[in-house]
Structure 1
């Protein structure tokens, strides 16, 4: 599995446009073959940014994602609203386990 985490700083005056573009690319990306998960979120605080966490079956699935029309449209939109350096981290994961818990269990674990 390949996990990709990307942070894109956003011009505050373009924040609405940025979140709209993020919603579009996330919805379309979740439908792609080989995509295990695709989350788009925003940061909390003074420096607005989009944060993506993408999970793919493998590197080929991630490359296929980059060849889609919705990805190309998003990259074009980024040029309009990005405000600084974009940072991407990629992790190849050999084994993983999903762990679920309630908020009560989380509170009790502290």
Structure 2
């Protein structure tokens, strides 16, 4: 867990397609109320809230109360861990593809 004292692994949180869609929706706006997020899915408010709780436990979402509604905002910082992991394997595959290309060129000669 990172310095955010996260309760849930970021990779676990983004493993679900609904949660990835929620992240995408939150990335498109500075802040969104729960009712607006719920309208984007074919599931009830409680189910969407559970997904948002998982994202919140991973540090990916912040919420705040405005009157009777709850508004959610994306915190992209924990996604850095995912980016770093993907970047490592991107470099791995680039190096392997370069080696493969060199071997193929050697065979042609």
> Would the TM-score normalized by the shorter structure come out above 0.5?
no
Question: Which structure has the larger Rg?
Answer: 2
* Greater fraction strand: 1
Higher relative contact order (CA 8 A, sep 6+): 1
* Normalised TM-score (structure 1): 0.28
